[in-house]
Structure 1
Amino acid sequence: MPGYVTTRGAWGVVGAFSLVGAVTQLVWLTYAPITDEAAGHYEVSTSAIGWLANIFPLWYVLLAVPVGVALDRWLRGTVLVGALVLAAGCLVRLGDGYGWAFAGQTLTAIAQPLVVTAITPVAARYLPEAERPKAIALATASTFAGMIAAFVLATTVDLGPLLGIEAVVALLAAGLLAVAFRAEPAAVEAPRPATALADFRAAWGSPVVRRMCLLVPVPFGTFTALTTWAEPLLSPAGVTADQTGLMLMANVVAGVVACAVLPVWAAAHGRRRVTLLVGVVVAVLACVALAVRPSFPVGMVGLLAVGALLLPSLPIVLELSERAAPLVAGSAAGLVWLAGQSGALVVTGVTGLWLDAPAAAFLLLAAITAVALPLVPRREVLDGEPTGPGHQVVNPV
């Protein structure tokens, strides 16, 4: 059967899509580094500002599966709607008052799953199989790069101009994506499930996808819990807020570099399993070290290692789900993202109950993370030839 033909605009699509993905994270974390300043600006409590970020995972949990099905049916239309709603939300935030900020953040929170869930479908529809790990790694790394941009801009630009800059960037990114999407997916027509429910069943019918849904909540939850609670858990040990900020920045920078490189290397050399295992083990050791000797040096080394070795688990898991169910890559990705976001909510919530006992919180996080070790599939599953129903790809116009 004929395979993929890489079009000249395929990597242009991946690049434009990755830019929009970065903007989703930039907008998500707009207020997180400047919570007190934003609370004063809008004359509300810090908890009210916290909800401007907390609504994102809640909307993701609600929309992940239906968005995944929509991506399998109408890839370009769904992603482009997400980019436009994202830009619209940024424009709404320019209004004066907390109500405008919350309404704008709600729109951008709704847009996020329409974009980020499409990482694997975009790779599957526009690139040949050998190039998909690189595209998935690039698009995933771009989301973490958006987080870095959020921290840098928030600490160097006042809130009013910051919102304007983000609105302009979101509009430009949406425009670039619309132009890039003029390129047709270079896919071979193939039979597909007849209904949206059949899409979901086909994705869930893959044993690899189900295993990924069991695995991903742990690393996703561990990363989110560490980045959310690092400051209150380490402050009793004398770690300052500025030092915590440096640790988190190092964590995300290492994650950006590693996500762009390590999954590609693992796919090329059949090292997906060992990469996943090393990432989980390192995260467990980092949490134990922080429980035993909480300090700035230990936190810097631990979070740097977590960023470099645990964060690449996400693009690897996404690539594996696409390989296992390429005909319904969107539905598979939706299931994986749903599992990951749910894990983030649960693990972060449970860890937050132990903020008054930092050592116990870190040990609990280590124990939760260790649960992922037996969930990593065998090497022949992760690094062998793709198996499962329908190893063909359709043109999802």
Structure 2
Amino acid sequence: MSNFAIRTSKLISMYALDYNHSNIPAFLGDPMTDAKFKVYGYRWVVLAVFMFINLTIQMLWITYAPITGPAAAFYGVTDAKIGLLAMSFMIAFIPLSIPASWVIDTYGFRLAVGIGAVLMGIFGLLRGFAGDSYPLVLSATIGIAVAQPFLLNAWTKVPANWFALEERATAVGLVTLANLVGTALGMVLTPLLTDGGMSIPNVQLIYGGIAAFSSVLFLILARETPPTPPCPPGQEVRALMLDGLKHALTVKAFWLYLAVSFIGLGIFNGLTTWVEAIIRPRGFTPTDAGTLGALLLLGGVLGAVVIPPFSDKQRKRQRYLLIGFLLAIPGLIGLTYATSLWLLLASAFSMGFFLVSSFPIGMQYAAEITQPTPEGTSNGLIQLFGQ
């Protein structure tokens, strides 16, 4: 066993008894093989609560984007200051990504994500109680933003601990799906609720309550590891975080993928944050912007569900990454230049389908080519470059 594994196992056992995998109900085990390497049905419970907590933080992130104008009027500030609420997540991610990855890789995802869960639950509720005070809303939003790296950087760590190698891209794809659904819900539900007469603080209070509930579920149900490993030791060995970081940065293929992530994730984050301002000069309405955002995310949801399983089955990563990025280009061109609504919406769906489906495959690819770098480290670098 590596020094990293020994350290981690000791720290986990010291931190809390509920880290112990013996708490997993025996009837939930479903060994895939008759060897000592097994995957358990409880892996889906762990993945589900992890998906739920990622879904809720995306709702909290994007909630002001579709109501920028009304929110600016309500708080008495400019559109740019409302945009800052979403941008604060990206700003906070830059200095916090590496420390969050260190916590994930040193103490385990359950403790690290638990930290993020507590921060998200507390500050999510506080934002609802902030009333019409923009400074308080911004402060609470920064608190939520601090929580985000602890969640996003664990995307590949949870599948690595619980899933067999041939299932991991699919598991990461499901987490990606949860994030997209959370973003879509935030974009769709927020204007519906405010147009229906609900105040902005009450909308935020509802979202904060959902965030607190998802946090409690994660803290109760998540487990760090199953009773027996899901794969042979050679597939789960990990380096210490600093050594792993140094190793990852010596892999040329990883640098190439970081460059691609810088462009791909940057485009996606920028588009979802400023969608209405981007298409307004071409005569499109806020309603068109909402429809565009919904179709972009719908395409991403379908792509994240459909494509990663093929990558897992064939054990091919680069091929599907190349296909996804190349086929996303026509959609990007359409979003940039389309003057007709049908072409704009078709371009949004196409870009979402091919671009977003590449993210979970790419994260698993990065985890594989940088071994024995810890998953949290490689995942965190990808998320960092995408900001």
**TM-score, normalised by the number of residues in structure 2:** 0.81
Cα deviations by residue, 1:33-88 (Å, 9 ceiling, x for unpaired): 11122222222222221111111111111111221122111121111111111111
Q: CA deviation at 1:215?
A: 1.9
Q: Given the superposition, is the C-alpha separation of residues 325 and 235 from structure 1 closer, same or farther in structure 2, using an over 3 Å criterion?
A: same
Partner Cα separation in structure 2 for residue 233 and residue 53 of structure 1:
16
Q: Given the superposition, is the C-alpha separation of residues 291 and 317 from structure 1 closer, same or farther in structure 2, using an over 3 Å criterion?
A: closer
Equivalent in 120, 133, 142 of residue 106 of structure 1: 142
Partner Cα separation in structure 1 for residue 85 and residue 338 of structure 2:
34
CA contact (8 A) 1:275 1:309 kept: no
1:166 aligns with 207
1:212 aligns with 257
Equivalent in 62, 66, 82 of residue 95 of structure 2: 62
Q: CA deviation at 1:18?
A: 0.5
2:371 pairs with 1:336 = no
SS at match of 1:5: coil
SS at match of 2:356: coil
Q: CA deviation at 1:129?
A: 1.2
Partner Cα separation in structure 2 for residue 10 and residue 229 of structure 1:
37
SS at match of 1:68: helix
Equivalent in 5, 27, 46 of residue 13 of structure 1: 46
Cα deviations by residue, 1:205-245 (Å, 9 ceiling, x for unpaired): 44443332122112212323444454344333332221122
SS at match of 1:301: helix
Q: Given the superposition, is the C-alpha separation of residues 89 and 248 from structure 1 closer, same or farther in structure 2, using an over 3 Å criterion?
A: same
Partner Cα separation in structure 1 for residue 106 and residue 336 of structure 2:
47
CA contact (8 A) 1:203 1:332 kept: yes
Partner Cα separation in structure 2 for residue 299 and residue 37 of structure 1:
25
Partner Cα separation in structure 1 for residue 336 and residue 173 of structure 2:
32
2:192 aligns with 156
Partner Cα separation in structure 1 for residue 36 and residue 365 of structure 2:
19
Partner Cα separation in structure 1 for residue 222 and residue 331 of structure 2:
42
Question: Mapping of 1:1-397 within 5 angstroms?
Answer: 4-75=37-108, 76-93=110-127, 94-96=129-131, 97-157=133-193, 158=198, 159-182=200-223, 184-185=225-226, 186-187=228-229, 192-194=238-240, 196-290=241-335, 293-327=338-372, 328-341=374-387
CA RMSD of aligned residues (A): 2.3
Q: CA deviation at 1:124?
A: 0.5
- Farther-moved stretch of structure 1 (320-329 vs 27-36): 320-329
CA contact (8 A) 2:276 2:289 kept: yes
Partner Cα separation in structure 2 for residue 219 and residue 151 of structure 1:
21
Q: CA deviation at 1:192?
A: 4.6
Cα deviations by residue, 1:335-363 (Å, 9 ceiling, x for unpaired): 1111111xxxxxxxxxxxxxxxxxxxxxx
SS at match of 1:216: helix
Residue identity opposite 2:139 in structure 1: A
Q: CA deviation at 1:262?
A: 1.0
- Farther-moved stretch of structure 1 (56-65 vs 40-49): 40-49
Partner Cα separation in structure 1 for residue 155 and residue 334 of structure 2:
34
Structure 1, unmatched stretches of 5+, are: 342-397
Residue identity opposite 1:167 in structure 2: G
SS at match of 1:212: helix
Q: CA deviation at 1:3?
A: 6.6
Q: CA deviation at 1:111?
A: 0.4
Partner Cα separation in structure 2 for residue 172 and residue 229 of structure 1:
29
SS at match of 2:192: coil
SS at match of 2:225: coil
CA contact (8 A) 2:88 2:142 kept: yes
CA contact (8 A) 2:329 2:351 kept: no
Q: CA deviation at 1:293?
A: 4.4
